C-alpha cells in the first residue's frame, strides 16, 4: 500500500511538472513573439476561478452563477425571463452620438434619405397643387399635415444632425461640439437651410393656402447632392443609381412642363381652342402626354392660335431641345463610365489580335491568348490588379494585401517564425498570374527564381519514367517552389514538371524581391537559410539511407571503431606491432582493404 501510494503521488507530481513545463514554454513563445513584433498586444489569459471559489454562495444565500445577467428581463405576465430588455427600455437608454462622421456613418446616410424624401415631396407636389385642381377645401388638412411633417424633418436636420457633423481642419478631425456648431453656422449650407424654412405660411391667413408660398422649401438641394455622393460611395454598382437619377431628371422636367401646360390651358380657358387641354379624361396624364411630345419634339401637335400660345410653344421647343440634349449627354457619360473597364479590355484584346495577325502567329497560339484575356477579365474584372492599387498609399496597399494574402502566406512552413513585418513587406511584392489548362508552370531542370502560391484552381506535379505520371495534385492554398528562393550552388533547379490542371490563378514571389526585403531583416535571413538547408538535405537524402532488404552487401558495413580502441591500436603499431593487439590491428587492416 505504501509503495502504491508513493507511485501515485510520483505520477501526480510528474504530471504537474509536465504541465508547468508546457505553460512555461507557451509563455516563452509569447514573450519571444512580442519582442520580435512590438505591435502584438498582450494576450495573457485571465486567471480562471477554481471550482471551489465559483461555488461560494453570495451574501444573500444565492449562488453567483444563479443570478440573472444584467441583460435579462423578467416578465410577470408570462412568468419567464427574456435575454434582452424590451425595445422601449433600449430606446430610453439610447444615447445619441455627440459627433457624426458624415463619410462613414450609415445612420447619417439613412437620415439624409428622409430629408431627400421631404425635399422631393416639395419639389414634385408644389407644382401639381399650384397648377391642377387637386388641392380642395375637403382635403386641405391632409396636404398641410404632410407639409408640416416635412418642415419638422428640415428643422431636426438643422438642430440635431448638421451641428454634430465632424470636419477636418489642418489635417485634424474636429469632434468638439462647439467647434462643429460654429463650423456649420459659418457655412453656406446653414444659410440655405434657414432660407428654405422662411415662415411664409403666415400669409395663408391673408391670401389663402397657396402652394407657391412653400416654394423656398425646394432650396434644400444641397442635402440631395450630399445624399447622392454618400450613397454612391457605399453602393457596389453605383452606375445603376446614376442611370436612375438621370432618368428622374428627365421625368421631373416633363412633370414641370405638364404643370405649366395645364396652367396655360386654364389661363386661356379649357377647351377654348384646339391647342389647349379640352378638360376630358385624366388631366395630369393628358398634360404629361402633351409635355412628352413637346420636349422630345416628335411632332403631331395642334398649331397654336393666339399670341400667348405661340410664345409658350416656342419656349417649350427651345427648352425641350436644350433639356433633351443635356439629358442624352449625361446619360452617355453615365453609361460610358459604367462600361469604361469593358471598353479598355476590348481595346487591349483588339490591339493584341492585330499584333498577332501582323506577325502571323499560329492560330493555336492566338486562341490561347484570347482564352487568357477572356478568363482573366471574367474572373477578376481586370487585366492587371497592380493598376488598381497603384494610386493608393503604401499603407492602404498593405492593408488590402494582408486581407487578401496573409492567411495563405502565413501557412508556408518556410516563413513560419520570421519577422511579421518582413511577411507584410513580402505581401506587397506578390504578383497574380493566370495559367490556362495544361500550361507548364515550371519544368524539370530549369533554374527556379520564383515561389508559387495557389490562389484558385489546381496544379499537378508530374514525374515517373516518362515524366507524365501525376505524382500529386495541389489545390488552393498550397505552396511550391519555396526552396528555390534561398537555395544556392545548383540546389535551385526544378525537380519536377508542374502543369496547370484547368484554369489556375497563382501568386508569384520572385527571388530578387525576397532578397531586397531580407537585407533589412538579418535575423529572418539567417532563419530562412537554415530552414532552406534543412529542407534541401531532407529532399536530397538517398532513399536507401536507412538500409533496405533489397540492397544486401557482400560484407555489411562495419560500425566505427571506438576512439579509445583506435588509440590503443596506434600505440601498439608504434611499439612494433607484437602481441594480441598487433595481430588484431593487422586483421582490421585486411578487413578494411577487402571492404574497399
pLDDT digits (tens, 9 = 90+) for 196-248: 999 999 999 999 899 999 999 999 999 999 999 999 989 888 888 998 999 99
E strand spans, 402-544: 431-435, 440-442, 450-463, 469-474, 479-480, 497-510
Q: Are residues 398 and 531 in the same domain?
A: yes
pLDDT tops 50 at residue 22: yes
The arithmetic mean of pLDDT across residues 336-340, rounded, is 81
Q: Are residues 536 and 412 in the same domain?
A: yes
Q: Are residues 145 and 277 in the same domain?
A: no
- Of the candidates 312, 490, 517, 327, the one whose C-alpha atom is nearest the C-alpha of residue 425 is 517
Instruction: Quote the CA–CA distance of 422 and 131 in Å, as a whole number.
Output: 71
Q: What pLDDT sits at residue 79?
A: 53
Instruction: Quote the CA–CA distance of 193 and 181 in Å, as a whole number.
Output: 14
- Rounded to the nearest 10 degrees, the angle between the axes of helix 221-234 and helix 188-196 is 120
Structural domain including 258 reads: 236-383
Domain end call among 182, 207, 234: 234
pLDDT tens-digit map of 426-452: 888 888 888 999 889 988 888 888 888
Q: Is residue 470 part of a domain?
A: yes
Q: How far apart are the first and last CA of the chain?
A: 62
Q: Is residue 26 part of a domain?
A: no
Q: What pLDDT sits at residue 69?
A: 45
Q: Is residue 417 part of a domain?
A: yes
pLDDT tops 60 at residue 514: yes
Enter the C-alpha cell of residue 307.
399670341
Q: Are residues 242 and 363 in the same domain?
A: yes
The CATH number covering residue 278 comes to: 1.10.287
**Cβ atoms of residues 295 and 320 within 8 Å:** yes
Instruction: Quote the CA–CA distance of 120 and 129 in Å, as a whole number.
Output: 14
Q: What is the 3-state secondary structure (H, E, C) of 176-239?
A: CHHHHHHHHHCCHHHHHHHHHCCCHHHHHHHHCCCHHHHHHHHHCHHHHHHHHHHHHHHCCCHH
pLDDT tops 60 at residue 353: yes
Q: Is residue 117 part of a domain?
A: yes
* Contacts (Cβ under 8 Å, ≥6 apart) of 15: none
Q: Which long-range contacts (CB under 8 A, 24 or more apart) does 466-472 make?
A: 467/497, 471/496
Q: Are residues 510 and 441 in the same domain?
A: yes
The arithmetic mean of pLDDT across residues 323-341, rounded, is 83
Instruction: Quote the CA–CA distance of 138 and 141 in Å, as a whole number.
Output: 8
**Cβ atoms of residues 77 and 86 within 8 Å:** no
Q: Are residues 288 and 378 in the same domain?
A: yes
- Of residues 295 and 210, more confidence is placed in 210
Bridge-partner residues for 80, per DSSP? 75
pLDDT tops 60 at residue 391: yes
DSSP-derived secondary structure letter, 577: S
SS3 category, 458: strand
Q: Are residues 304 and 440 in the same domain?
A: no
Q: Are residues 364 and 483 in the same domain?
A: no
Q: Is residue 30 part of a domain?
A: no
Instruction: Quote the CA–CA distance of 461 and 501 in Å, as a whole number.
Output: 10
pTM recorded for the entire structure = 0.64
Q: Are residues 397 and 531 in the same domain?
A: yes
Bridge-partner residues for 507, per DSSP? 432, 453
Q: What pLDDT sits at residue 302?
A: 84
Please provide the DSSP assignment of 16-76 as one string.
Answer: HHHHHHHHHHHHHHHHHHHHH-TTPPP-PPPPPPPHHHHTPBPTTSSBGGGSPPTT-EEET
Q: Are residues 411 and 301 in the same domain?
A: no
Instruction: Quote the CA–CA distance of 474 and 340 in Å, as a whole number.
Output: 37
Q: Is residue 222 part of a domain?
A: yes
Number of C-beta neighbours around residue 544 at 10 A: 9
Q: Is residue 187 part of a domain?
A: yes
Q: How far is CA 341 from CA 338, 364, 381, 387, in A?
A: 8, 27, 8, 12
The arithmetic mean of pLDDT across residues 552-556, rounded, is 43
As a whole number, the mean pLDDT across the chain is 80
pLDDT-derived band at 285, boundaries 50, 70, 90: very high
DSSP-derived secondary structure letter, 589: H
Instruction: Quote the CA–CA distance of 136 and 578 in Å, as a whole number.
Output: 140
SS3 category, 498: strand
Instruction: Quote the CA–CA distance of 374 and 353 in Å, as a whole number.
Output: 13
Number of H helices, E strands in the chain: 21, 10
Q: Are residues 533 and 411 in the same domain?
A: yes
Q: Is residue 314 part of a domain?
A: yes
Q: Domain count of the chain? A: 3
Number of C-beta neighbours around residue 66 at 10 A: 8
Q: Are residues 242 and 225 in the same domain?
A: no
pLDDT tens-digit map of 470-492: 889 998 878 888 777 766 555 57
Domain end call among 540, 562, 582: 540
pLDDT tops 80 at residue 187: yes
Q: How far is CA 369 from CA 354, 356, 372, 383, 505, in A?
A: 12, 10, 5, 13, 16
Instruction: Quote the CA–CA distance of 2 and 555 in Å, as a whole number.
Output: 56
Bridge-partner residues for 57, per DSSP? 63
The CATH number covering residue 424 comes to: 2.60.120.10
**Cβ atoms of residues 427 and 509 within 8 Å:** no
- Of residues 44 and 262, more confidence is placed in 262
Amino acid at each position: 500500500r505504501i509503495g502504491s501510494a508513493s507511485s501515485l503521488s510520483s505520477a501526480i507530481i510528474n504530471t504537474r511538472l509536465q504541465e508547468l513545463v508546457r505553460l512555461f514554454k507557451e509563455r516563452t513563445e509569447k514573450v519571444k513573439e512580442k519582442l520580435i513584433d512590438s505591435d502584438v498586444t498582450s494576450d495573457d489569459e485571465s486567471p480562471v476561478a477554481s471550482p471551489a471559489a465559483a461555488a461560494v454562495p453570495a451574501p444573500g444565500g444565492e449562488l453567483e452563477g444563479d443570478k440573472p445577467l444584467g441583460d435579462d428581463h423578467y416578465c410577470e405576465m408570462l412568468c419567464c425571463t427574456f435575454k434582452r430588455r424590451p425595445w422601449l427600455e433600449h430606446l430610453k437608454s439610447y444615447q445619441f452620438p455627440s459627433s457624426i462622421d458624415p463619410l462613414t456613418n450609415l445612420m447619417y446616410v439613412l437620415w439624409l434619405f428622409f430629408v431627400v424624401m421631404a425635399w422631393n415631396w416639395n419639389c414634385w407636389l408644389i407644382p401639381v397643387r399650384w397648377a391642377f385642381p387637386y388641392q380642395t377645401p375637403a382635403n386641405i388638412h391632409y396636404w398641410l399635415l404632410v407639409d408640416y411633417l416635412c418642415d419638422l424633418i428640415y428643422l431636426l436636420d438643422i438642430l440635431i444632425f448638421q451641428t454634430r457633423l465632424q470636419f477636418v481642419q489642418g489635417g485634424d478631425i474636429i469632434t468638439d461640439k462647439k467647434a462643429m456648431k460654429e463650423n456649420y453656422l459659418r457655412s453656406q449650407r446653414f444659410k440655405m437651410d434657414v432660407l428654405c424654412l422662411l415662415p411664409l405660411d403666415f400669409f395663408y391667413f391673408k391670401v389663402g393656402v397657396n402652394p407657391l408660398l412653400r416654394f423656398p422649401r425646394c432650396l434644400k438641394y444641397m442635402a440631395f447632392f450630399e445624399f447622392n455622393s454618400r450613397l454612391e460611395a457605399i453602393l457596389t454598382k453605383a452606375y445603376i443609381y446614376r442611370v436612375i437619377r438621370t432618368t428622374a431628371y428627365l421625368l421631373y422636367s416633363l412633370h414641370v412642363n405638364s404643370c405649366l401646360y395645364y396652367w396655360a390651358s386654364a389661363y386661356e380657358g379649357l377647351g377654348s381652342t384646339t391647342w389647349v387641354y379640352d378638360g376630358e379624361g385624366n388631366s395630369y396624364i393628358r398634360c404629361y402626354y402633351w409635355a412628352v411630345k413637346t420636349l422630345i419634339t416628335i411632332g403631331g401637335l395642334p398649331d397654336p392660335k393666339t399670341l400667348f400660345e405661340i410664345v409658350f410653344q416656342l419656349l417649350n421647343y427651345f427648352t425641350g431641345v436644350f433639356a433633351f440634349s443635356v439629358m442624352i449627354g449625361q446619360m452617355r457619360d453615365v453609361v460610358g463610365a459604367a462600361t469604361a473597364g469593358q471598353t479598355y479590355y476590348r481595346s487591349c484584346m483588339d490591339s493584341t489580335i492585330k499584333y498577332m495577325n501582323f506577325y502571323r502567329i499560329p492560330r493555336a497560339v492566338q486562341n490561347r491568348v484570347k482564352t487568357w484575356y477572356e478568363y482573366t477579365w471574367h474572373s477578376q474584372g481586370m487585366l492587371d490588379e497592380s493598376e488598381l492599387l497603384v494610386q493608393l498609399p503604401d499603407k492602404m496597399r498593405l492593408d488590402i494585401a494582408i486581407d487578401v494574402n496573409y492567411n495563405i502566406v502565413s501557412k508556408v512552413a518556410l516563413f513560419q517564425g520570421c519577422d511579421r513585418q518582413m511577411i507584410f513587406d513580402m505581401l506587397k511584392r506578390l504578383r497574380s498570374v493566370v495559367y490556362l489548362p495544361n500550361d507548364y508552370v515550371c519544368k524539370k531542370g530549369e533554374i527556379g527564381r520564383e515561389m508559387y502560391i495557389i490562389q484558385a484552381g489546381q496544379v499537378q506535379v508530374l514525374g515517373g519514367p516518362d515524366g507524365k505520371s501525376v505524382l500529386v495534385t495541389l489545390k488552393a492554398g498550397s505552396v511550391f517552389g519555396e526552396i528555390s528562393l534561398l537555395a544556392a550552388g545548383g540546389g535551385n533547379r526544378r525537380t519536377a514538371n508542374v502543369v496547370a490542371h484547368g484554369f489556375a490563378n497563382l501568386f508569384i514571389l520572385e527571388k530578387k524581391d525576397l532578397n531586397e526585403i531580407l537585407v533589412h531583416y538579418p535575423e529572418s535571413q539567417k532563419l530562412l537559410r537554415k530552414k532552406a538547408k534543412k529542407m534541401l538535405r531532407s529532399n536530397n537524402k538517398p532513399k536507401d539511407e536507412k538500409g533496405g532488404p533489397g540492397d544486401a552487401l557482400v560484407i555489411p558495413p562495419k560500425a566505427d571503431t571506438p576512439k579509445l580502441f583506435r588509440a590503443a591500436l596506434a600505440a601498439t603499431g608504434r611499439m612494433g606491432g607484437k602481441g594480441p593487439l598487433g595481430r588484431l590491428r593487422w586483421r582490421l587492416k585486411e578487413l578494411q582493404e577487402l571492404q574497399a
